[in-house]
């Protein structure tokens, strides 16, 4: 595959940082972005990446301007990786609307608005790949990361529609569903906590804090390996040799287990509720009444 130009958000740590180095190592070009980029992306710059300042919560005009600036660097963008995000922690009753809006502003609107800024360029060239980062927690639900899970769940749903909207223009989308990786998502920079004022949740918050510490220190996933699988999928190399870019890319055993469990549970619900679902059609006879009639 010819050399690609990657535009990647949230490149200071974690998947973003590893993606920059993996992409450069394969001979592609990278435009790495972050807030306070000049201070936080020096290693990436020294490795050969172009760096740009970007806050994904900026206005649409601001994001459009950054994309136009990026296009002047190499003349094109082939891949947009919407990686920037953070984890808002807390029981939903305690989180409140303002904190919920903040996490959506980064995790959902940031990714959608930046994609909107890049799409005219992709449509004009009739090619391009949009990558979105999601989480296995969307598929199983957990107490305390509800705001984060909601933002990622909304993103997954929006991308299902976006995929069908942009496919006629030769544009591909891929949602990466990640398990537990040793990144800074559980670190102090990316974990946000609000006021904890409801005594009923005190023990639950203690449990959550302990779990976060364990995940931060002992998550099984290697972010370098995860980043490599993402690049494989986009470039049809390595583990994805000869394959098309997938609509979903699952990384980590936790993600596999959560998705399989949810799918099995939903299939069971479908099987058990099939007659009820079908009984709502005009003129339909509920199964229990149909049995009575036949008698």
Q: Which of 148, 193, 201, 216 is catalytic?
A: 148
243 contact partners, CB below 8 Å, separation of at least 6: 233, 236
Which residue in this structure is represented by tokens 């450069």?
A: 24
How far is the C-alpha of 230 from the C-alpha of 23, rounded, in Å? 10
Please state, in angstroms and as integers, the Cα–Cα distance from residue 37 to each residue in 25, 180, 237, following that order: 21, 26, 30
Joined together, the tokens standing for residue 277 give 């679902």
Cα separation values, 190 from 43, 106, 136, 155, 262, Å: 20, 11, 18, 19, 27
CB 47 within 8 A of CB 30: no
Q: Would residue 136 show up in a list of annotated catalytic residues for this protein?
A: no
Looking at the annotation, which residues are catalytic?
148
């Amino acid at each position: 595959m010819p050399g690609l130009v990657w535009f990647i958000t949230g490149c200071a740590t974690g998947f973003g940082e590893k993606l920059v180095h993996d992409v450069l190592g394969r001979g592609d070009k990278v435009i790495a972005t972050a807030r306070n980029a000049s201070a936080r992306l020096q290693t990436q710059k020294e490795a050969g990446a172009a760096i740009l300042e970007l806050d994904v919560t900026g206005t649409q005009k601001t994001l459009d301007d950054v994309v136009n600036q990026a296009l002047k660097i190499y003349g094109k963008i082939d891949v947009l990786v919407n990686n920037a995000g953070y984890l808002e922690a807390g029981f939903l009753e305690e989180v409140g609307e303002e904190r919920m809006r903040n996490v959506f502003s980064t995790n959902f609107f940031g990714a959608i608005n930046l994609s909107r800024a890049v799409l005219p360029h992709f449509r004009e060239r009739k090619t391009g790949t949009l990558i979105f980062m999601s989480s296995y927690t969307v598929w199983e639900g957990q107490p305390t990361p509800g705001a984060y899970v909601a933002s990622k769940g909304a993103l997954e749903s929006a991308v299902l529609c976006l995929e069908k909207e942009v496919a006629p223009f030769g544009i591909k989308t891929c949602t990466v569903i990640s398990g537990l990786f040793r990144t800074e998502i559980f670190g102090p920079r990316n974990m946000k906590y609000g006021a904890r004022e409801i005594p009923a949740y005190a023990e639950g918050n203690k449990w959550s804090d302990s779990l976060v510490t364990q995940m931060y220190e002992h998550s099984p996933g290697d972010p370098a390996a995860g980043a490599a699988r993402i690049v494989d999928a986009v470039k049809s190399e390595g583990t994805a040799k000869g394959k098309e870019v997938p609509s979903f890319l699952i990384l980590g055993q936790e993600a596999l287990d959560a998705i399989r469990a949810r799918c099995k549970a939903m299939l069971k619900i479908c099987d058990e509720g099939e007659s009820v679902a079908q009984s709502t059609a005009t003129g339909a006879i509920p199964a229990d009444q149909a049995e009575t009639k036949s008698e």
